[in-house]
Structure 1
């Protein structure tokens, strides 16, 4: 036995929706074809969204990878174009988290809107393949690669647009950025420790072939010497008193003594009384030019006419403090005293001069015309410094712009080898 079933269907928005016995049946809207006008509109919007997503991803990489302190350095000491770019970017990256939230919001909005328009012009399988490929290649990889390489110029070009985006999303991005500030703290830029700065200087010298302005050997030595000066004290740079040329106050300035002073080649000579550790004064060699060696003037009377005393410093005195003391012009030589267990200055260890401090700063020996008879250690150190400069000139890493010691060497005893174009280094 059979029974008849009556089905009543009513079209609604035919041919996409049909109501049969109260049930609504929807037919999927077929994708648009290239012959439909809306196809090109949706395609254009989708391409625009991909470009916006890529731009936001690139700006996120380019702008947020720029350190505030590095930008300040470029603003003050970079090339003219770098100075202009840095000046435009610094106000934007000052609020690190606000910039981050703004760019991520815009990027997320563009990515989430892509399927809405892509579904209109393709089937689901094609939409997934195209969407993943477009987002990965054109929305992430290529923009981030470009912006990581040219982040400064691109960031400066789009700085006005970023300001507009910050304004448009301020209601959402500002609270989120403040939350990040509270949780993670504000970004204050990168500061280097002294050890890191020394390593950075080494890298600039070692990777000279990739660096358009490499540091030569002397620049590296001076910069590193200045960074290490804080940890150096008078005790590490002094000349032991048993190696110091000194005169007794009971002696006379006769021809033999004057010959000894000339052979020593010093501009200042300490004077002791009794034991050599008891330094009572200082003779300036330039003042001896007025003396007659035949007269054999007593050294005691010379000190009485031109009294000069040797200041005392502790062995733990930092070299920077000594340098500041020498700069005042009172004296360019100090007696270095040992620090006893009670923390008080004790016995004499030696003397230290302005030249000793400068040698520690430049990390090379300073040789003058009278240093021909200098000890072997000083000559070996000088030879090592010269060898380093020769190696730097011979290797590609030692090449540099005009200036520095990469120019031909001239001996100090031939002043006619210098002219007004000779580099100071």
Structure 2
């Protein structure tokens, strides 16, 4: 009976300590009594361990004492007592330690949750003894700088959360896993990685003729457009096209009416993480922001939709905007413009071009060459062969990229 009692304490200790804390907390919140008891007990593991070890040590010592007494009465030789003690040690190790602990490690919930009922009852009569033992042991722990109150802290880092999501397997659909991973990646991505470069910003130039302005409004695929005069650096505001179209239909559209409809531009410092910018958009009730550098010059444009697409993927109805200015050829190469971002290539083509440093193909190649580009020049970047097909005086206008060929498996 003492061996069975010892096996219970040993197995339940392993079962309770190996319970998944997050699954246990979820089940406790759903009202499962065993899970709730186990969760409350694990909040103070020093008290739980004290109760377990008190019962386990008592059972083991009493069993060993009984065996020693029986052996001494039956056999007068000291050798017999030593042999019986050795055999008892082996039996106790197998029956009361290894077997129950292995079972509990393999099925922690089947062992840990039922045992929580027992400990919930035992904690009251054993409290004085456990309190005294914990008082002494906790005092020793504080000497080395450990506080038992810190045991309830089980926060996970972002990398640990990645591991939890990746190991969820079939419990979380693959698409949802990708979305969760993308949310965790927001803190590693900045607005510069997803912004529309300033040379690709489509807007309304107040210096253009009225007919051109109306044509820009009617032909635009966007709901909001920036208004500037002469250059994007002379930004006046952002206008919602639905209101502008209404004025155009009533033949009341002019520069003054456009400026009256425009709202103040919202500026975003370069280097802002996407998770922070998402909160900024929410707090400021904005959907469009202009990325500026340390000198206050506009570098690009970022929208709320761009950030959301980083999480849920592309949801635009226009297939041509999924990966603009990238064309696949029959030989496996891709023709790209110099302004295409490295991140968009990696994201849409499953490539692994380096993303630390330059954001565009033009910048990536120029950094590698360390000289002004020339048409026909080839460069190898992380296994990708890049050939400059068209270059201006100071920038790459177009290039062709060959991704690495998969290695043939040995026969």
TM over 0.5, shorter chain: yes
Residue number in structure 2 paired with 1:338: 293
Q: Measure, in 2, the Cα distance between the counterparts of 1:372 and 1:261.
A: 19
Distance 1:110 1:330, change over 3 A: closer
Which of 234, 248, 262 lines up with 1:307 in the alignment? Answer: 262
Residue number in structure 1 paired with 2:278: 323
* Residue deviations 1:309-355 (CA, integer Å, cap 9, x gap): 32222224443343234335743111221124xxxxx1111111111
Residue number in structure 2 paired with 1:280: 236
Q: Measure, in 1, the Cα distance between the counterparts of 2:15 and 2:56.
A: 14
* Residue deviations 1:350-391 (CA, integer Å, cap 9, x gap): 1111112212334x3342237459432598667548xxxxxx
Q: Aligned pair 1:62/2:18, yes or no?
A: no
Matches within 5 A, 1:30-45: none
Matches within 5 A, 1:234-273: 234-254=191-211, 257-261=213-217, 263-273=219-229
* Deviation of 1:244 (Å): 0.6
Distance 1:178 1:71, change over 3 A: farther
* Deviation of 1:248 (Å): 0.8
Matches within 5 A, 1:9-408: 48-66=1-19, 71-76=24-29, 83-119=32-68, 120=70, 124=80, 127-128=84-85, 130-182=87-139, 183=141, 184-186=146-148, 187-204=151-168, 208=169, 211=170, 213-216=171-174, 218-254=175-211, 257-261=213-217, 263-292=219-248, 297-298=253-254, 300-327=255-282, 330-340=285-295, 346-362=296-312, 364-369=313-318, 371=320, 374-376=324-326, 383-384=348-349
* Deviation of 1:84 (Å): 3.5
Q: Measure, in 2, the Cα distance between the counterparts of 1:304 and 1:265.
A: 21
Preserved contact between residue 355 and residue 366 of structure 1 (Cα < 8 Å) = no
Q: Measure, in 2, the Cα distance between the counterparts of 1:112 and 1:250.
A: 95
Q: Measure, in 1, the Cα distance between the counterparts of 2:98 and 2:23.
A: 25
* Deviation of 1:283 (Å): 2.6
Q: Measure, in 1, the Cα distance between the counterparts of 2:210 and 2:135.
A: 79
* Residue deviations 1:14-35 (CA, integer Å, cap 9, x gap): xxxxxxxxxxxxxxxxxxxxxx
SS at match of 1:266: coil
Distance 1:154 1:232, change over 3 A: same
SS at match of 2:100: helix
Distance 1:284 1:115, change over 3 A: closer
* Structure 1 unaligned residues grouped into runs of 5+: 1-47, 341-345, 386-425
Preserved contact between residue 11 and residue 103 of structure 2 (Cα < 8 Å) = yes
Preserved contact between residue 267 and residue 286 of structure 1 (Cα < 8 Å) = yes
* Deviation of 1:58 (Å): 0.6
* Residue deviations 1:34-80 (CA, integer Å, cap 9, x gap): xxxxxxxxxxxxxx011011111111111233365553244237xx7
Distance 1:306 1:167, change over 3 A: closer
Distance 1:287 1:329, change over 3 A: farther
Q: Measure, in 1, the Cα distance between the counterparts of 2:180 and 2:257.
A: 42
Residue number in structure 1 paired with 2:394: none
Distance 1:297 1:159, change over 3 A: closer
Q: RMSD of aligned C-alpha atoms?
A: 3.2
Preserved contact between residue 252 and residue 296 of structure 1 (Cα < 8 Å) = no
* Deviation of 1:262 (Å): 5.0
SS at match of 1:336: strand
Answer with 1 or 2: which has the greater Rg.
1
Q: Which has the higher contact order (CA 8 A, sep 6+)?
A: 1
Runs of 4+ more than 6 Å apart:
none
Preserved contact between residue 204 and residue 225 of structure 2 (Cα < 8 Å) = yes
* Residue deviations 1:81-134 (CA, integer Å, cap 9, x gap): xx4431121222222112112211211221122233335277637634642332
* Deviation of 1:197 (Å): 1.2
Alignment TM-score, normalising by the size of structure 2: 0.67
SS at match of 1:251: coil
